[in-house]
Structure formats: C-alpha cells, structure tokens
Amino acid sequence: MDSQEKFENMISSGKTIRGKKCFIDIPLSGDINLSPLKHHDIDELHFMEGDISWFYNVPRGIKKIVINGNKLENIPSLELGNLVSLEANNNRLSKIDLKEMTKIASLYLNNNKIHDILNFPSSLQILNVDRNNLSELDMHGGESCTSVSCLDNPQLNKIYNAPVSKHYFELNKDSHTQVMLHGGAPKREAKENVMYSDVKEAVNEYYALKNRYTEDQKTVINKIMNKKSMSRKDKVREVRSAVFRCVNCKREGGTKFWKDSNYNLKAICGNVQNPCNLNIN
C-alpha cells in the first residue's frame, strides 16, 4: 500500500479527525493529494515526520498546516491563499514566494536551505528562519511583522525595509548583519540590544515608540470616559485602575519609559512576571 492509499484510508476511517483538526500519525512519503479532506470540515492539518516531498489540492478551509521533518523542496503557495499558519521546519525548502499567501500570519521555516524569501504580505506577524542560507532579506510589505528570528544564517549580511519601531530581530550576538530601516542608515542588532550609528535616529525611534504607547493609553482612557452608563466618579476610578499593555508584546503591565541621572533614555516591558525583550538604553 503506497502513502496516498494510507492517507485516504486514514481519512475515511475518521480516526485521524478530532474536531476540526486532522492528525496523520504515520509517516508518509512522496506526493500527497489532499483532496479527500475536502469532504470534511477541517481547518488544521498535522503530518508526522516522514518523507513527503509535495502536497497539493489543499482544501480552502485549511488555516494551519504542520509538516515538520519531511522532504519538501517547495510549497504549493498558489493553493495556500487562506492559510494563516505554516510550520515546515526541517525540510529541504530553498526559496519561498509569499505573493499568493495573503493571509499568512506565522511562518516557521527553521532548518531548511532557504536562500530567498519574496513578496512579504502585510498579514505576516511571525517569521522564524533560523539555520538557513539567507544572505539578504528584503521585508518590504511586511509592516505588521513583530517577531523575526534569523539565528545561524552565517551568510546573512543585510535586512532591508525593516520598520524597527515594530520589529524585533533575533540575530546571533556576534552577528554583523545590517538592518536597514526603509532605506535609512544601517544599524546592528543582536538579541536584546540595538546599536544605532546615529544619535538623532535613536532618539527619534525612542520617542516614536513612546508616542505610540501614549496613544494606546489615550484610546483606553477615552473608551472608559465615553461610557454613558457610568458616573464621572466611577469613570475616574476605573481610569486609575486601568491596565495598560506593553507597546512591544501587548501583555498587561504597560511599558516603562524614563530618563536616568545621566540623561540616558530607557524603556522596558512592565510585565513583571514575564517581561518581553524590550530593553532600550
């Protein structure tokens, strides 16, 4: 029995389907036709590690695919227009074109052979491409991305079109990768520290972040003050106890901005239990 037959038998048995999720718990190989799933209300598809080299006829309802540890050299991007999350770590992918993947929000592509990623969509928020063969990364179009991990890409020299006020790049501490913000002056980033070559640029970025946080606070306060069913006294009380969110990770606790005795501008995440990597100095 070949892998396609095994796949079809598993789907027809119904044992692999749990709610709206489908778990293929045997290793498959070769090309897999997903059309048998079109008769089921599935939005997640999980494959076991194996030797799958290609999959096709992806049902439009599928929003998430997990296919780690296989032998994919390409992905059927033309069929993935509704996909929100793709995990394809430990495959053989070399080039990714996201032009048709207009709803993708998270991409986990660690341990591949990727040398090029094209056409970043505005929907993308998380990109993990550790241990690949990237030499350059142009993020034009990826303004919504809030987390980019590029660890262990030894040939990665430049990242272009990075809106740094919204991005956090994870790079090796000894990395010499230049991160270019919309064609501006390059800077070097390493894990939790950002080094600016231009003081004015650094100050502008600091206050842009602070202003964005202030606007977020105003939005919360205005919502409270516009509640018609509450007295002004109750509104003031609720404003004083309002919980703000970190401008970087969006977790409760807010963001702390201050200037130390040496006039250094500083900012950190205000979530005490689990602070994010925001650490401006």
CA 154 to chain centre: 21
CATH number (domain holding residue 86) = 3.80.10.10
Cα dihedral sign for 9, 15, 21, 25?
Answer: negative
Average pLDDT, the chain: 84
Residue 170 and residue 191 in contact, taking contact as beta carbons nearer than 8 Å = yes
Maximum mean pLDDT: which of 113-117, 189-193, 276-280: 113-117
As a whole number, mean pLDDT of residues 172-187 equals 59
Reported as a single tens digit per residue, the pLDDT across 25-62 is 999 999 999 999 998 999 999 999 999 999 999 999 99
Neighbouring C-alpha atoms within 13 Å toward the C-beta of 69: 8
| pLDDT for res 253 | 85
As a whole number, mean pLDDT of residues 220-240 equals 81
Would you say residue 190 has pLDDT above 60? no
| pLDDT for res 230 | 82
Maximum mean pLDDT: which of 118-122, 168-172, 219-223: 118-122
Verify that 164 and 249 share a domain, yes or no.
no
| pLDDT for res 7 | 96
**Structural domain of residue 222, as residue ranges?**
199-280
Q: How many domains does the chain have?
A: 2
pTM above 0.85, yes or no: no
- Tell me the residue type at 168: Y
Domain limit, last residue, from 170, 195, 220: 195
Verify that 183 and 161 share a domain, yes or no.
yes
As a whole number, mean pLDDT of residues 93-112 equals 95
Verify that 92 and 175 share a domain, yes or no.
yes
Name the phi and psi angles at 151, rounded to 5: -65, 145
| pLDDT for res 259 | 81
Verify that 145 and 212 share a domain, yes or no.
no
Residue 263 and residue 280 in contact, taking contact as beta carbons nearer than 8 Å = no
Would you say residue 197 has pLDDT above 70? no
Domain limit, last residue, from 166, 195, 224: 195
Maximum mean pLDDT: which of 76-80, 195-199, 246-250, 262-266: 76-80
Would you say residue 184 has pLDDT above 70? no
Verify that 176 and 203 share a domain, yes or no.
no
d(CA 163, CA 180): 9
- DSSP code of 245? B
Token digits for 274? 């689990």
Name the phi and psi angles at 223, rounded to 5: -60, -40
